[in-house]
Amino acid sequence: MAKDLEWAEKAKGMLKAELKRRNLGYRDLAEKLAAAGTHETERNLANKISRGGFTAAFFLQCLDAIGVQSLRLAD
């Protein structure tokens, strides 16, 4: 169970870091996801990302929507 929580925290941190690198907020993410056909409110995104308990599909949708083409898993 502890390992699952560690991975959830890592995914959350990676997504937040990519948003920050691009100077994007949750409103921007919501707009980009909507343009791709996935409708989430800014508030819902904030809650989902802060919990870190989102699916791999959601993670990939977000990365694609904000234009991430590659992702480094280790420092």
* pLDDT single digits (tens) 61-75: 999 999 999 998 876
Phi then psi for residue 62, to 5 deg, are -65, -45
The Cα 67–Cα 13 span in angstroms is 17
* pLDDT single digits (tens) 18-45: 999 999 999 999 999 999 999 999 999 9
Q: Which residue has the higher pLDDT, 63 or 3?
A: 63
pLDDT of res. 57: 95
Per-domain boundaries in the chain:
2-65
Q: What are the structure tokens assigned to 44, written together? A: 């819902």
